[in-house]
Every structure is written in C-alpha cells, then in structure tokens.
Amino acid sequence: DQQVKQNSPSLSVQEGRISILNCDYTNSMFDYFLWYKKYPAEGPTFLISISSIKDKNEDGRFTVFLNKSAKHLSLHIVPSQPGDSAVYFCAASGPGAGSYQLTFGKGTKLSVIP
C-alpha cells in the first residue's frame, strides 16, 4: 500500500509557464515533506522541504504548498526553465522502527519545452 502517491507519471510544460507537481499521502504520522529532483545517471538532489506546521515554503522559483486536511502537497515552479526537466520525487518523513525514515513517491517526469 503506497503511503506517498504521485499520480502523474509525467508532465509537459512550456518554458516560462508554471509547473505544478502534486503529491498525496495517507499516513497522518508524516510531519515533514521534501521534494527531490533527479537527472538521469545522477542521484536525487534535495530541492525544498516543508514542515507540517506550515502551509507554504518558498525558495526562489520553487514553492511548496501543504494542505494537511487533504493530505496533499504540491510543488510549483515558476517560471519553468528547460534545465528543470527532470524526475521529481515527493518524500515524507515519519518514524520507523529505530529512526525517522523517508517514504518516497514514484516520481513525476517533468519536461519543460523551450
């Protein structure tokens, strides 16, 4: 049973427009959420995060929104650039047996078209 879901496997956006990537979760114990970006042949790179006590966090062109009641978060990229083309993973932090663990979604492949 997937606890973190990214229902869109892919997304195409025109350069300069807004990219919106969505993520849903089911476990109410998750209290910290992260977005990672992955280029081919590289490991995931941390992009931005948000604590469950906030509903928005912004860092330059990247903004993450959290709706706790809906168990939904989204990543907004504006304006989108061709270099943003990558796979984006949503991750949620929650307690494991002996330490906090990250649970990942399957990822959304973003293509920004010049």
Partner 1 sequence: ETGVTQTPRHLVMGMTNKKSLKCEQHLGHNAMYWYKQSAKKPLELMFVYNFKEQTENNSVPSRFSPECPNSSHLFLHLHTLQPEDSALYLCASSQDPQSSYNEQFFGPGTRLTVL
**Smallest separation, CB 82 to partner 1 (Å):** 22
Does 53 bind partner 1 (CB under 8 A)? Our answer is no
Is residue 46 within the footprint of partner 1 (CB under 8 A)? Answer: yes
Select from 13-21, 56-64, 67-75, 91-99 the region that touches partner 1 (CB under 8 A). Answer: 91-99
Pairing label, strands 108-113, 10-14: parallel
Interface with partner 1 (CB under 8 A), residue from 60, 83, 99, 114 = 99
75 touches 48 (CB < 8 A): yes
* Least distance (Å) between residue 114 CB and partner 1: 27
Query: CA 36 to CA 28: how far, in whole Å?
Result: 21
Cβ neighbors of 6 (< 8 A, separation 6 or more) are 21, 22, 23, 24, 88, 89, 90, 105, 106, 107, 108
Q: Is 106 an interacting residue with respect to partner 1 (CB under 8 A)?
A: yes
CB of 19 or CB of 107, closer to partner 1:
107
Is residue 57 a contact residue for partner 1 (CB under 8 A)?
A: no
88 binds partner 1 (CB under 8 A): no
Q: How far is the CB of 20 from partner 1 (least distance, A)?
A: 20
